[in-house]
Amino acid sequence: MIMDSRTPVYCGLILSLLLCDIISGEDYFPPAQGVSWSSLNFKTILMWNPEPRNHSYTVEFFGVGKDRERSPHCIRSLRTECDLTHVLMDLKETYYAEVLSEPLLGMTSDLIEFPYARSEQFTPYSDTLIGRPEFTIEVNEDKTKITLQIQDPLSPFYNNSKLLNMRDIFQDDLQYRVTYRKAKSTGKKVEMTDTNEIVLQVDRGESYCFYVQAFIPSRRGEKQLGALSKLQCSPAGEKSLHEEYGFVVLLCAALMIIVAFVITTILLCLCCKRKCQAKNEEKEKPYDHV
């Protein structure tokens, strides 16, 4: 029997695969993939995939140079997300998280170290997305000023039974960017305020539309701006004739009225003159027969 030179290689591969299966058996737990952070107003969720089959997931987290900790709600879990909001309490700390693939709850394994996947770094203070703020619109009596009162988005944290908002956390580092335009125009203007109120000078009687979003100067790039608010527009007020139609239009209208008046006056004078002439002619007729 002639043996092909590649036969020993094939046999070696087959034996290796069989040996791996025998050694690993049911102790093979696929590592997590796509580990990522999702954070809005400091509510922070760690997410990954795939769905577990014959294993579970455990989440560990740690600050730079700090000891590892485990989230008590994410040990031997069958979910593919973990809420870390209330364990990442140092908001300016930079964290990493690792998702370990472990046996199902109640099962054991001979593995000493379990497969894991690590997240990118995450700093709540600089990485959480600031959600859309709410605001109200107030127009003054003479319709020349509009005041926006901005409400800070809420966080999930309490301090002495008080629910903290973004101003409580960021303090002077929180500003708001206001983008606005006339309702009938596409041209936009931008104003900034470091408080929760902004007063804008506007054209009397015009309707204006507004967007508001948080702005964090200490952040970099796109993370400086929060989510855009819903669009809101002020009511349109009553305008004077001058504001509504403009000086040129009113001048033309006045000239037309004057011209019409002059023409009417001239026509009336001509009519009166003709009537007088007709009466005089009637009076003079009898004397023409003498």
Mean pLDDT of 99-106: 93
Percentage of residues in the chain having pLDDT higher than 70: 80
Strands of the sheet containing 197-201, edge to edge, are 134-139, 145-151, 197-201
Tell me: the pLDDT tens digits for 279-288?
Answer: 666 666 654 4
Residue 219: closest CA among 155, 153, 124: 124
Please report the pLDDT score of residue 238 as a whole number. Answer: 53
Which superfamily does CATH assign the domain made up of 134-237 to? Immunoglobulins (2.60.40.10)
- pTM > 0.75: yes or no: no
Identical fold for domains 29-127 and 134-237, yes or no, is: yes
More confident residue, 228 or 284: 228
Q: What is the CATH number of domain 29-127?
A: 2.60.40.10
At residue 253 the predicted structure's pLDDT band, cuts being 50, 70 and 90, is low
* Mean predicted lDDT score pLDDT of the chain: 86
By CB atoms closer than 10 A (0-12, 13-18, 19+), residue 62 is: middle
Confidence band of 242 (pLDDT split at 50, 70, 90): low
Range with the lowest mean pLDDT among 54-68, 74-88, 181-195, 256-270? 256-270
Residue environment code for 154-183, b if the CB has 16+ CB neighbours within 10 A, otherwise e: ebebeeeeeeebbbebbeeebbbbbbbebe
Say if residue 133 is exposed, middle or buried (CB neighbours under 10 Å; 0-12, 13-18, 19+): buried
Angle at 252 between CA 249 and CA 253, to 5 degrees: 85
**Mean pLDDT within 250-259:** 73
Confidence of residue 21 (pLDDT cuts 50, 70, 90): very low
Interval 183-206 mean pLDDT: 95
Domain locations along the chain: 29-127, 134-237
In this prediction, residue 271 carries a pLDDT of 79
Does residue 167 register a pLDDT over 80?
yes
**Structural contact between residues 176 and 215, judged by C-beta atoms closer than 8 angstroms:** yes
